[in-house]
Amino acid sequence: MGRRFAGERRSTAAAERRGREARAVNYREAMAYAEELRQYGTVMGLATMRELCARLGNPQDQLKFVHIAGTNGKGSVLAYVSTALSAGGYRVGRYISPAVTDYRERFQVDGRIITQSALCHNLEQVKNAAEAMAAEGLPHPTAFEVETAVAFLYFLEKQCDIVVLETGLGGAQDATNVIDTTLVAAFSSISMDHMDILGDTPEKIASVKAGIIKNKCYVISARQEPEVMKVLRQAALVHKAKFFTADVSRAKNVRYGAARQHFSYDGYKDMEVTMLGRFQTENAVVALEVLAALGKLGYPVAEEKLRQGFAETRWPGRFDVIGKKPLFIADGAHNEDASLKLAESIRLYFTGRRIIYIMGMLRDKEYDKVIRNTCELAEHIITVTPPVPERALHAYELAQAVREYHDSVTVADSVQEAVEIAYLLAGQDKECVIIAFGSLSYLGELMNVVEHRDTIRRDSHGRSEEN
């Protein structure tokens, strides 16, 4: 009798398990759901995110965070910090947005993106909670809120020692700011962007971003404009947080190269980084100060491992060399500050060389300022339309804006065509440089096109040598 009951119980459990498996979201359905979430737009505020996390058991409360805000450079700071921590032996989650080549890039542990099965498993939990909220008349969580909740669940599941978290937009009312266990709040360069949401002055924008500062955490900031620094310092004072400035002017013996760069900062002599761009020294300095603060909080990284981490750090789409014959660079410069830094890096590395641009911009960005800051360095400019229908600036409209400052412009019907035109214009000139920049939304496709083209060329070259 007892054995029969036990057998029935096992078969019932197996049936329930099969039922759960049958209802499980597959990857195609997960991607369809992620696309469907776009309809909920961008909604600032934490009420919905708090409710969503509460229904999931508040996974974020069981994690420790480095929280990074800023207008430009926060992704690079995240990359340096997380790679160095992983090299130091910690299990490190990192959450980024937007992804460049694969949706799953948003969720990484020790630099490895989430598996399809893990994404489906965690997304299904969040989907069920989100739909229950909507059924009860509460606002449905946005795509970013759902993805942030997925990140928290995944990082807890993977038992991460520390999570390096990049804000999506702003700080105070950003979905990531539902966290309360911040060890270090870090700020990369803060400048004017998203003014319709964050405010129309540097002080207002800084005030919003300062919202990530939590009680008694460490605060690390890049050297900012005086009015921005004042806001950050005051916020740190209110929260009794320890404030430190990562001052790039203290970086010495800075040497720039087309493959790697070197600098010394305080006790770190001759640090090597392989991410390019003059601005990377500043980002690396911020990361060094973040790691120093973490060391004081019980997360030390041996200098040898820290150096290894910095040398190994990569970040797709940020002055990223994606092709070499000719040199082909992809960069997410999409606002005024980033375009100034891009122009500075072009002058640093490529003075006297032919430059061809591929540009794709969103309508709600200061594209006129981006054009003004960069166009004089290009021989020819090719425009494309980013794949963001509700926000994209059409390639034709962008070309019209470019012609106000530059008379050599071509409108491309697709990213594929833009790449082919760029290579045709470059011809056999090995000194020519192609630079694609603007919205990150089209750079993933562009990088795939360039990689596919290079693969075909290598295969063709190999066959011809065999023949």
pLDDT class for 452, splitting at 50, 70, 90?
A: confident
Q: How far apart are the first and last CA of the chain?
A: 77
Tell me the residue range of the domain where 134 lies.
23-312
Q: Answer yes or no: is pLDDT of 200 > 80.
A: no
Residue 17: inside a domain: no
Burial of 405 by CB count in 10 Å (0-12 exposed, 13-18 middle, 19+ buried)?
A: middle
Same domain for 459 and 395: yes
As a whole number of angstroms, the distance between CA 255 and CA 252 comes to 9
Mean pLDDT to the nearest integer, 425-441: 93
In a domain, 9, yes or no: no
Q: Is residue 15 part of a domain?
A: no
- Whether the pLDDT of residue 421 is over 90: the answer is yes
Instruction: Calculate Rg over the CA atoms of the chain.
Output: 24
* Mean pLDDT on 142-147: 97
300, 384: one domain: no
DSSP label at residue 142? P
Residues counted in the chain: 467
Identify the CATH number of the domain in which residue 383 sits: 3.90.190.20
Q: What is the CATH number of the domain that holds 205?
A: 3.40.1190.10
Mean pLDDT score across all residues of the chain: 90
**6 within some domain:** no
What's the rounded Cα separation, in Å, for the pair 365 and 285?
Answer: 28
- Same domain as 210, residue 65: yes
458 shares a domain with 381: yes
Query: How sure is the predictor about 334, in pLDDT bands with cuts at 50, 70 and 90?
Result: confident
CA distance 94 to 113: 9
Q: Among the three residues 286, 312, 338, which one is the final residue of a domain in this structure?
A: 312
pLDDT in tens, 12-47: 444 444 444 445 779 999 999 999 999 998 898 999
For tokens 């600032």, the residue is: 44
Alpha carbon 125 to its chain centroid, in Å, reads 25
- 45 and 157 together in one domain: yes
Q: How, if at all, do strands 242-246 and 218-222 pair?
A: parallel
* Residue 464 pLDDT greater than 60, yes or no: no
What is the distance between the alpha carbons of residues 461 and 466, in angstroms, rounded to a whole number? 9
361 within 8 A of 438, measured Cβ to Cβ: yes
Q: Can you tell me which residue has the tokens 């498993």?
A: 121
Q: What is the pLDDT of residue 459?
A: 64
Last residue of a domain, one of 249, 282, 312: 312
Domain shared by 169 and 293, yes or no: yes
8 Å CB contact between 192 and 336: yes
Q: Could you say which of 312, 343, 358 is where a domain stops?
A: 312
Q: Model confidence at 134, in pLDDT bands (50, 70, 90)?
A: very high
Give residue 250's identity as a one-letter amino acid code.
R
**pLDDT above 50 for 2:** no
**Is the residue at 192 inside a domain?**
yes
Question: CA–CA distance from 248 to each of 38, 122, 233, 268 (Å)?
Answer: 39, 40, 18, 13
pLDDT per position as a tens digit, 218-259: 999 999 999 999 999 999 999 999 999 999 999 999 998 878
* Together in a domain, 456 and 397: yes
Q: Please confirm whether the linkage preceding 316 is cis (ω < 30° from 0).
A: no
Q: Is residue 206 part of a domain?
A: yes
pLDDT band at 72 (very low <50, low <70, confident <90, very high): confident
Are 292 and 349 part of one and the same domain? no
Within this chain, do residues 113 and 171 fall inside the same structural domain, yes or no? yes
Statement: residue 7 has pLDDT above 50: no
Shared-domain flag, residues 233 and 382: no
What is the per-residue pLDDT for 398? Answer: 97
Residue 96's contacts (CB-CB under 8 Å, 6 or more residues apart) are 75, 78, 105, 106, 108, 166
pLDDT at residue number 5: 37
In a domain, 3, yes or no: no
Q: Are residues 153 and 199 in the same domain?
A: yes
Q: What is the pLDDT of residues 342-401, one digit of tens each?
A: 999 999 999 999 999 999 999 988 899 999 999 999 999 999 999 988 889 999 999 999
**Ranges assigned E (strand) in 96-144:** 107-109, 112-113
Same-domain pairing of 363 and 225: no
What total number of domains does the chain contain? 2
Whether 339 is covered by a domain: the verdict is yes
